[in-house]
Structure 1
Amino acid sequence: MAGVTAPAAAANLAGKSGVRVVVIGDPGTGKSSLIISLATEQFPENVPGVMPPTRLPADYFPDRVPITIIDTSSSPEQKAKLIAECQSADAVVLTYACDRPSTLERLSSFWLPELRRLQLKAPVIVVGCKLDLRDEQQVSLEQVMAPIMQSFREIETCIECSALRQIQVPEVFYYAQKAVLHPTAPLFDQELQSLKPRCVRALKRIFIMCDHDKDGALSDVELNEFQVRCFSAPLQPTEISGVKRVVQEKMPEGVNENGLTLTGFLFLHALFIEKGRLETTWTVLRKFGYDNDLKLRDDLIAAPIKRAPDQTLEMTSEVVDFLRGIFNMFDIDNDGALLPAELDDLFSTAPENPWSSDPYKDSAETNVLGGLSLEGFLSKWALMTLLDPASCFANLVYVGYPGDFGSAFTITRKRRVDRKKQQTQRNVFQCYVFGARASGKTALLQSFIGRQPSDAVPSNSERFATNTVELPDGTRKTLILREIPEGDVRSLLANKESLAPCDVAVFVYDSCDEYSWQRARDLLVQVATHGENTGYEIPCLIVAAKDDLDQSSQALQESTRVSQDMGIETPIPISVRLRDLNNIFCRIVHTAQQPHLSIPETEAGKTRRQYRQLLNRSLMVVSVGAAVAVVGIAAYRVYAARKNSSS
């Protein structure tokens, strides 16, 4: 890889229309002189207190990005303005005077800690001004700055200059611009002297995309295609040989009989970065669509999703087939499950494993070794599609899906339409699980994914469980259970559209505890009322948990009466401890498939329904009466016309 850059393209891909550089430092360190000397190419005789903003044109440096330089005052009364300027900076130039050691000491004792206190994210360029006045007996810049850079990793580079002698003045701002357009921090860990994990993941994905024959190495032809794509210039055969020779000398496993291996590819980029040629690696990353956070740019993976609140996305059969293939590819030991290490390998071309944290981490069934079955694998993708379609699509792209957003997902029909048509075509159903604390909600979710209730980590936040359910007719549907903590119900129902994504709601109560039933009843009424008021009515089921223990007869009688009064199925008794689940998950899916049934009706809802029926009957009587009147008038007119004609 020759590393020839395409400056204009690099600037555009960096996403920067201009770079804002703020110059700070102790009084008298040469800030204003440095700026004037850069702009006029001569040393100023009279230096103003603070220079007005200075703009360098786009063609000043090869990257063709204009630079605006902001001078600052370090006087106490200007501190607020100084802070504001630093917080809006793309890069900070921090100056000290080479002839005043006290200003160098102030970098560590004041300036750098202050920038850190402000949580500044911009790279810092430390500049020693007045190089012409430096005592020649002083130690080298490298010796002086090494311990400071060790303590303050935000320092991108250090340089000395002389505005009077015009020594390395443009270089100061070239390095500042370079630190913004080609930052080191996302790519390289200075302390470990190695590529950062996210950089490795991005480069690995690029390598796999360029390895067209999938033999684990870039051949000479593939290397040349890569070079042309990134740098618009081919490599000569001697250059390719030279690249491979350098890699082989330093890292023998970086080259094999088929060409440059992934190890060698990563080594080359680490070498570029160590030699200060970050623009080479950044050009490669940006040509393949990566931004400064080493994620694919939004315009490559985002798509406007226009849907109603009661519509959701589901994966197409094309994506499901792709995921089956990916699963089999990474199931190295062919045991029908992806072990954690195999799953990490599958996501090794994504910025991170998206399932390593909630809500996905413990949402699906695993075997005793932590292996994820194909059904669990597909269920997790279905959960991600439901909760975050944009992230789901991004991760599909990261693991190699070649299609676009439209080929990956389909938008379901509105749930309101499903209720009117009394059927649904969905393959993925979401069930909200309500209930009092310790009612058995978590145990229900854990049993759905083959785990013991004791395996659940205590949490006051929402919990998800996803799995496939085989129905009596042999078809399989994906069911997603979402546990709603008791304390979150009020805030959930404060949102008018909160029930729109829900296909069915389950209300769990401890059949031994009368209070638990009362809470379940109250929650059922709240949800039913919310549905009646918003138009997002949902089918509901009552689950009597802990059926193996001594039951509360009052709770049993009350729950049976309430279910009958509200027009839903009588409570379903289950015992997770005895694994007697009464076919609950099939029953949940069956209820979701009949969206017009099992919708609870409150007393207020019944009153409104009766009023509407009465009103409709009244309107019908009025309309019939009006029709009779119209007919009567027409008959009279005919009679009158005949009478007039006869006379």
Structure 2
Amino acid sequence: MAGATSPAAAANLAGKSGVRVVVIGDPGTGKSSLIVALATEQFPENVPKVMPPTRLPADFFPDRVPITIIDTSSSPEQKPKLIAECQAADAVVLTYACDRPATLERLSSFWLPELRRLQLKTPVIVVGCKLDLRDEQQVSLEQVMAPIMQSFREIETCIECSALRQIQVPEVFYYAQKAVLHPTAPLFDQEAQSLKPRCVRALKRIFILCDSDKDGALSDVELNEFQVRCFSAPLQPTEISGVKRVVQEKMPEGVNDNGLTLTGFLFLHALFIEKGRLETTWTVLRKFGYDNDIKLRDELIAMPIRRAPDQTLELTGEVVDFLRGIFNMFDIDNDGALLPTELEDLFSTAPENPWSSDPYKDCAEKNVLGGLSLEGFLSKWALMTLLDPTNSYANLVYVGYPGEFSSAFTVTRKRRVDRKKQQTQRNVFQCYVFGARGSGKTSLLQSFIGRQPSDALPSNTERFATNSVELPDGTRKTLILREIPEGDVRSLLSDKESLAPCDVAVFVYDSCDEYSWHRARDLLVQVATHGENTGYEVPCLIVASKDDLDQCPQALQESTRVSQDMGIETPIPISVRLRDLNNIFCRVVHAAQQPHLSIPETEAGKTRRQYRQLLNRSLMVVSVGAAVAVVGVAAYRVYAARKNSSS
């Protein structure tokens, strides 16, 4: 495996139409002379204090990307301009004079800390100018720069040059361009001298995609196909043998009877990078769609489907079948659950495990060993699709799904239409869970995913719980519970479309605490009012938690009365501690499946409804009266016509 970037490919693959290099450093270190010597290939006699922008043509370097070089002044009055230029730079060339040790010391005492203070993410090339004037007794460049590079990892490389003698002048800007088009930092950990995890994950995915026969190795044919795809040139048999021989000498497990193994494939790329051939690895990554962050480029995973606020995306049957297959493939011990190590292996071809942090980390049921069941696995994908379809699709691609975005997801019907048709075709329902702090919201979520209330950590942050629910008819639906912290309700309802993604709302109150009921009632009225005002009404249920403890009679009586007044089901008593949940999750799904029922009506809503009914009746009376009048006029005209004809 070998090759260089094709002449016109680097800029396109890196997403760069040009590279902007800014040259900075102490006065008199040779900045302007360096630029002139590069452009004219001779040492200038008279150099201006600051050179105007200098543009090198696209064919100046092999990557065929034009470079614009910006000279700067280090005078105090020009500092704002210098800062602006650095912030607009793709790469920074930082100079010191080989014959002036004080300028070298200023790199770590001023310049590099200043660049860090500006929070620049651009690579830095440290350049020692006036090499011809350096004292022969001075220590080598490696010895001088090693401690500086150790402290400042943003330094891409160091080089010495002489504008007078034309020594390594073009190389300075070649390295600057290379640092932009083929950066080291995303690929390689200089300190550990190894490929970075995200690079390993991307290369592993590429290896698997190229291993057509899935035998765990790249055969000579597969290696050649890989070479042609990435570098548009085949490998000769002797070259393939040479590549495998190099790997086998350094790492015997890198080659087996079937060909180059993943270990050998990764070793080769580490070897290329160590030898400074980063363009080889970058060409491979970019041919397979990766950007400079080693993630798939946005245009490859962007969501082309438009949808209304009350429409969501769900996984298609094709994708669910694919995910079942992936689950079984990585369930090595065939115990019906993915252990954390198996799940990590499944996502080892993605930039990172997308479920390692909130809201996905603890949102689904696990067994005693921490294993995730198939239902929990599919439920997490459903949640990720609901919250972030683009990320869901990207991770489908990372784990090997070959289809297009349009084949992965289906767009649900608008919830408003569901209410009019009095039915829904959805398979995934989202339930907002409201209630005062301490009412039992979190315990309800924990019980849904098989955990004890004691497992719940106090939190004022939003959390999710997702699982499948088996209905009496034997079908299964995915239910997603979203706990809304009490303090977030005002902010949530300030958004007109905040209830659009909600299929059903649950209001939990502590049946032992009258205040808890009053708060749940107020939240119910707020949500109902918001729905009436925005058109995004949602079915609502009241849940009376802690039913195993002493009840508050006032709360029980009033909650029953309020539910009747608002036209919704009477409160559902549950006891999470006794695991007496009164079939609550089936009831939530049932309410979501009948979106025209269980919609609460406030007093203001009733008044508006009665007014509309009265108005409609009045319009009907007017319409009937108008129709009678029209018929009367017509009858009179017929009578008049007959009378005239008879006379």
TM-score normalised by L of structure 1: 0.99
In structure 1, C-alpha distance between the alignment counterparts of 2:275 and 2:583, rounded to whole Å: 65
Alpha carbons 2:57, 2:67 under 8 Å: kept: yes
Describe the superposition over 1:419-444 as per-residue Cα deviations: whole angstroms up to 9, x where unpaired.
Answer: 01100010000000000000000000
Using the TM superposition, give the Cα deviation of residue 3 of structure 1 relative to its aligned residue in structure 2, in angstroms. Answer: 2.1
Alpha carbons 1:440, 1:545 under 8 Å: kept: yes
Alpha carbons 1:437, 1:485 under 8 Å: kept: yes
Alpha carbons 1:32, 1:50 under 8 Å: kept: yes
Describe the superposition over 1:269-309 as per-residue Cα deviations: whole angstroms up to 9, x where unpaired.
Answer: 00000000000000000010100000011111112220011
SS at match of 1:156: strand
Greater shift in the superposed pair: 632-641 or 524-533 = 632-641
Greater shift in the superposed pair: 199-208 or 75-84 = 75-84
Describe the superposition over 1:343-383 as per-residue Cα deviations: whole angstroms up to 9, x where unpaired.
Answer: 00000000000000000000000000000000000000000
Using the TM superposition, give the Cα deviation of residue 225 of structure 1 relative to its aligned residue in structure 2, in angstroms. Answer: 0.6
SS at match of 2:397: helix
Alpha carbons 1:469, 1:585 under 8 Å: kept: yes
Describe the superposition over 1:99-157 as per-residue Cα deviations: whole angstroms up to 9, x where unpaired.
Answer: 10000000011101111111110000000111111111111111111111111111000
Describe the superposition over 1:67-120 as per-residue Cα deviations: whole angstroms up to 9, x where unpaired.
Answer: 111111111111111111111110000000011000000001110111111111
Alpha carbons 2:11, 2:18 under 8 Å: kept: no
Superposed, 1:111-260 pairs within 5 Å as 111-260=111-260
Alpha carbons 1:51, 1:71 under 8 Å: kept: yes
SS at match of 1:7: coil
Using the TM superposition, give the Cα deviation of residue 646 of structure 1 relative to its aligned residue in structure 2, in angstroms. Answer: 2.8
SS at match of 2:153: coil
Alpha carbons 2:20, 2:89 under 8 Å: kept: yes
Greater shift in the superposed pair: 162-171 or 394-403 = 162-171
Using the TM superposition, give the Cα deviation of residue 312 of structure 1 relative to its aligned residue in structure 2, in angstroms. Answer: 0.4
TM-score normalised by L of structure 2: 0.99
Describe the superposition over 1:238-275 as per-residue Cα deviations: whole angstroms up to 9, x where unpaired.
Answer: 11111111111111111111111100000000000000
Alpha carbons 2:547, 2:573 under 8 Å: kept: yes
Alpha carbons 1:3, 1:280 under 8 Å: kept: yes
Superposed, 1:222-301 pairs within 5 Å as 222-301=222-301
In structure 2, C-alpha distance between the alignment counterparts of 1:191 and 1:613, rounded to whole Å: 76
Partner residue of 2:504? Answer: 504
Alpha carbons 1:230, 1:283 under 8 Å: kept: yes
In structure 1, C-alpha distance between the alignment counterparts of 2:52 and 2:458, rounded to whole Å: 58
Alpha carbons 2:5, 2:63 under 8 Å: kept: no
In structure 1, C-alpha distance between the alignment counterparts of 2:428 and 2:261, rounded to whole Å: 42
Greater shift in the superposed pair: 354-363 or 160-169 = 160-169
Greater shift in the superposed pair: 161-170 or 323-332 = 161-170
Using the TM superposition, give the Cα deviation of residue 459 of structure 1 relative to its aligned residue in structure 2, in angstroms. Answer: 2.1
In the alignment of these two chains, the number of paired residues is: 647
Using the TM superposition, give the Cα deviation of residue 627 of structure 1 relative to its aligned residue in structure 2, in angstroms. Answer: 0.7
Partner residue of 2:348? Answer: 348
In structure 1, C-alpha distance between the alignment counterparts of 2:480 and 2:198, rounded to whole Å: 31
Describe the superposition over 1:203-242 as per-residue Cα deviations: whole angstroms up to 9, x where unpaired.
Answer: 0000000011111111111111111111111111111111
Alpha carbons 2:202, 2:351 under 8 Å: kept: yes
Using the TM superposition, give the Cα deviation of residue 452 of structure 1 relative to its aligned residue in structure 2, in angstroms. Answer: 1.2
In structure 2, C-alpha distance between the alignment counterparts of 1:34 and 1:459, rounded to whole Å: 59
In structure 1, C-alpha distance between the alignment counterparts of 2:122 and 2:304, rounded to whole Å: 32
Segments ≥4 residues shifted beyond 4 Å = none
In structure 1, C-alpha distance between the alignment counterparts of 2:342 and 2:193, rounded to whole Å: 27
In structure 2, C-alpha distance between the alignment counterparts of 1:159 and 1:596, rounded to whole Å: 73
Alpha carbons 1:546, 1:575 under 8 Å: kept: yes
Describe the superposition over 1:471-513 as per-residue Cα deviations: whole angstroms up to 9, x where unpaired.
Answer: 0010000000000000000000000000000000000000000
Greater shift in the superposed pair: 39-48 or 108-117 = 39-48
Structure 2: runs of 5 or more not aligned: none
Describe the superposition over 1:592-630 as per-residue Cα deviations: whole angstroms up to 9, x where unpaired.
Answer: 000000000000000000000000000000011111111
Using the TM superposition, give the Cα deviation of residue 640 of structure 1 relative to its aligned residue in structure 2, in angstroms. Answer: 2.1
Alpha carbons 2:303, 2:389 under 8 Å: kept: no
Alpha carbons 1:20, 1:67 under 8 Å: kept: yes
SS at match of 2:433: strand
Using the TM superposition, give the Cα deviation of residue 39 of structure 1 relative to its aligned residue in structure 2, in angstroms. Answer: 1.3
In structure 2, C-alpha distance between the alignment counterparts of 1:457 and 1:121, rounded to whole Å: 38
Alpha carbons 2:4, 2:279 under 8 Å: kept: no
Using the TM superposition, give the Cα deviation of residue 457 of structure 1 relative to its aligned residue in structure 2, in angstroms. Answer: 2.9
Partner residue of 2:586? Answer: 586
Alpha carbons 1:37, 1:43 under 8 Å: kept: yes
Describe the superposition over 1:292-332 as per-residue Cα deviations: whole angstroms up to 9, x where unpaired.
Answer: 00001111111222001100000000000000000000000
In structure 2, C-alpha distance between the alignment counterparts of 1:215 and 1:535, rounded to whole Å: 56
Task: Report the CA distance shift for 1:457/1:6 in structure 2 as closer, same or farther (over 3 A).
Answer: farther
Alpha carbons 2:434, 2:506 under 8 Å: kept: yes
Alpha carbons 1:131, 1:160 under 8 Å: kept: yes
Alpha carbons 1:32, 1:71 under 8 Å: kept: yes
In structure 2, C-alpha distance between the alignment counterparts of 1:433 and 1:490, rounded to whole Å: 14
In structure 1, C-alpha distance between the alignment counterparts of 2:454 and 2:81, rounded to whole Å: 56
Greater shift in the superposed pair: 32-41 or 367-376 = 32-41
In structure 1, C-alpha distance between the alignment counterparts of 2:177 and 2:459, rounded to whole Å: 47
Q: Percent identity among equivalent residues?
A: 93
Greater shift in the superposed pair: 53-62 or 338-347 = 53-62
Greater shift in the superposed pair: 36-45 or 423-432 = 36-45
In structure 2, C-alpha distance between the alignment counterparts of 1:234 and 1:304, rounded to whole Å: 36
Alpha carbons 2:227, 2:234 under 8 Å: kept: yes
Alpha carbons 1:449, 1:465 under 8 Å: kept: yes
Superposed CA RMSD: 0.7
Greater shift in the superposed pair: 492-501 or 54-63 = 54-63
Using the TM superposition, give the Cα deviation of residue 164 of structure 1 relative to its aligned residue in structure 2, in angstroms. Answer: 1.2
Partner residue of 2:643? Answer: 643
In structure 2, C-alpha distance between the alignment counterparts of 1:553 and 1:7, rounded to whole Å: 82
In structure 2, C-alpha distance between the alignment counterparts of 1:457 and 1:219, rounded to whole Å: 52
Alpha carbons 1:199, 1:294 under 8 Å: kept: yes
Alpha carbons 1:447, 1:453 under 8 Å: kept: yes
Using the TM superposition, give the Cα deviation of residue 4 of structure 1 relative to its aligned residue in structure 2, in angstroms. Answer: 3.0
SS at match of 2:480: strand
Using the TM superposition, give the Cα deviation of residue 633 of structure 1 relative to its aligned residue in structure 2, in angstroms. Answer: 1.3
Describe the superposition over 1:567-587 as per-residue Cα deviations: whole angstroms up to 9, x where unpaired.
Answer: 000000000000000000000
Alpha carbons 1:10, 1:286 under 8 Å: kept: no
SS at match of 1:178: helix
Superposed, 1:298-377 pairs within 5 Å as 298-377=298-377
In structure 1, C-alpha distance between the alignment counterparts of 2:459 and 2:242, rounded to whole Å: 57
In structure 1, C-alpha distance between the alignment counterparts of 2:590 and 2:60, rounded to whole Å: 69
